[in-house]
């Protein structure tokens, strides 16, 4: 049996989003226990020209909600990027999961060759469905989720690989 576009996308996105919410929850608890202003953690960057932690989470949300919308030729929902607390980021993640739960395998499967057109930093990008998923969406998902994890780990939040992967499986 081959791996379907649905199996390779929506359940994977949902798992990463749930794991990311748990990682952020540990970040919030860390800030509270150590009397750190949560805004300090949420504004962290690994280097000055990087996007802050809040934007990393927003991009995870955007890339995952963008995939099923674009692959089914609909517009992804547009949400303001105004989250400024751990609770607000958690709410965005929950809203993203709820949106993803609205898609069925029948809507996503069979879209391997469907052309997706989008703009990245004002530049047009056209990809067939499979490369869009495997060479754009999934790398972006893992890059920004990993960066969020790394920022919190760097701040001393007690996280391990199991937190990122969501073990036990």
On whether the pTM is more than 0.75, the answer is: yes
Distance of alpha carbon 43 from its chain centroid, rounded? 17
Domain membership flag for residue 63: yes
**Domain assignment present for 15:** yes
The answer as to whether 165 is a domain residue is no
Has residue 167 been placed in a domain? Answer: no
Is 135 among the domain residues?
yes
Counting the structural domains of the chain, the total is 1
Cβ atoms of residues 108 and 10 within 8 Å: yes
CATH value at residue 102? 1.20.120.450
In this prediction, the residues of the chain whose per-residue pLDDT falls under 50 are none
Please state, rounded to an integer, the average pLDDT across all residues of the chain: 96
Q: Give residue 1's pLDDT.
A: 59
Give the structural domain span for 25. 10-156
């Amino acid at each position: 049996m081959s791996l379907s576009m649905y199996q390779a996308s929506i359940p994977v996105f949902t798992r990463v989003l749930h794991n990311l919410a748990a990682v952020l929850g540990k970040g919030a608890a860390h800030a509270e226990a150590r009397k750190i202003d949560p805004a300090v953690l949420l504004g962290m960057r690994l280097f000055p020209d990087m996007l802050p932690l809040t934007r990393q989470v927003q991009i995870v949300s955007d890339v995952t909600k963008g995939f099923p919308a674009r692959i089914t030729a609909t517009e992804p929902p547009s949400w303001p990027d105004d989250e400024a607390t751990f609770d607000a980021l958690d709410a965005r993640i929950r809203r993203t999961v709820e949106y993803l739960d609205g898609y069925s395998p029948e809507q996503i499967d069979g879209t391997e060759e469907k052309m997706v057109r989008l703009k990245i930093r004002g530049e047009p990008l056209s990809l067939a469905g499979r490369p869009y998923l495997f060479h754009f969406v999934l790398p972006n998902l893992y890059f920004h989720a990993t960066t969020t994890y790394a920022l919190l780990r760097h701040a001393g939040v007690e996280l391990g690989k199991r937190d990122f992967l969501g073990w036990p499986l």
